[in-house]
Structure 1
Amino acid sequence: MSELPPSDNETLPPADAASPEAIAEPAAPNIPDLQAALVALQAKNTELSDQFLRAQADMQNTRRRAEEEVAKARKFALESFSESLLPVIDSLEAGLAHKDATVEQIHEGASATLRQLKAALERNKILEINPGAGAKFDPHQHQAISVVPADQEPNTVVSVLQKGYSIADRILRPALVTVTAPK
């Protein structure tokens, strides 16, 4: 026959319960050691609290400086662009100051001023979108005003009605174009 496990009513004493060593009192805590450990933990807590407060203050200072820089960038964002337009204004004012200018002189002055303006725009990353005839129609850069039959490949630019402009790969205004009709 196999042995049955003891029932809930029966309790077996531990194997070493009868030995006097097992009944020994636990060691009394050493109070000076505990006090020294407490002092060390309090010092570490104070040090970590100080480090935390310093890190928090550094984070707040960094956030404040970043907010100030963003505010300055917004405030002075147009400064460079404005400086590049000042020579254009000077040229226009100088052209208007000549009361007895000939048509050729006015045309030459207007052309020079237009070149200055285009150069100022290019320095500030404002680029012209002016597709040539036969260029593939790009709906991201062009806006088709009309579709005409032509002897070109379908969906290509026939003519530009108004130039477009982009700034840093972002479209300010799409070029208004006429495109060829699908065959």
Structure 2
Amino acid sequence: MSNSTNKNEQPENKGEQAEIPVSGEQQAPSPDLKAEEQCANPAEQQDTETGRDESAEVSEPENGEVLANQEMEMMSPDQVLVELTKTRAEASKLKDGYLRAKADVENIQRRSQNEITSARKYAVEGFARELLSVADSLDQAVKVEIDDSASEAVEKMQEGLALTLKQLESVFDRFDISSVEADQGIPFNPEYHQAISMIDSKDVKSGEIVSVMQKGFVLKDRLLRPAMVVIAN
């Protein structure tokens, strides 16, 4: 009984076949599948959009050049000459501005360099001015005449002052500090001499130095103090 039953059931199973989709009919992709594809290829989508933007940007200058060429073709020779003259004038103006700016920069650099050089060259000017009074005092002390009756201590003191003055003069020489030439008979020079009085003199000519009341000094080529002199009428 069981065998006959199975034989009868087999044709029924063969008759019931699964439905096969027709090849011409394709199923539409689900929304979830589209979202997955977009998430899987974001770089490709961005590259595509970037390529479109770049192509648009490249095409813009080309279109502008085409328009410019068309405008030039539409101009008459006189109009082209006018535009060329304007362009040359603008170029000349820009060139002049550039040359002026360049000259200003060079002048500023040269002025700054001169100021730096001057600052280094005359760095001891203020200090040298303060030492001039010391040199004056030592010079006057050395010129004092000592009597024969003076003690040995006074003579040694004067010798010490003379030695100190000599050392100070050597320091002046080391820093290019020199005295102004103002000997008797030298013509008066207002750049280096200052006249404090005028007297009649038979020994020197008019306008020449008779005597020096105070020495003058110069630092390199800069006057620190003029020499105080008496000149002849």
Give the helix-richer structure, 1 or 2.
Answer: 2
Give the strand-richer structure, 1 or 2.
Answer: 1
Identify the TM-score tier after normalising by the shorter chain: 0.3 to 0.5
Q: Over alpha carbons, which structure has the higher Rg?
A: 2
TM-score relative to the length of structure 1: 0.45
TM-score relative to the length of structure 2: 0.36
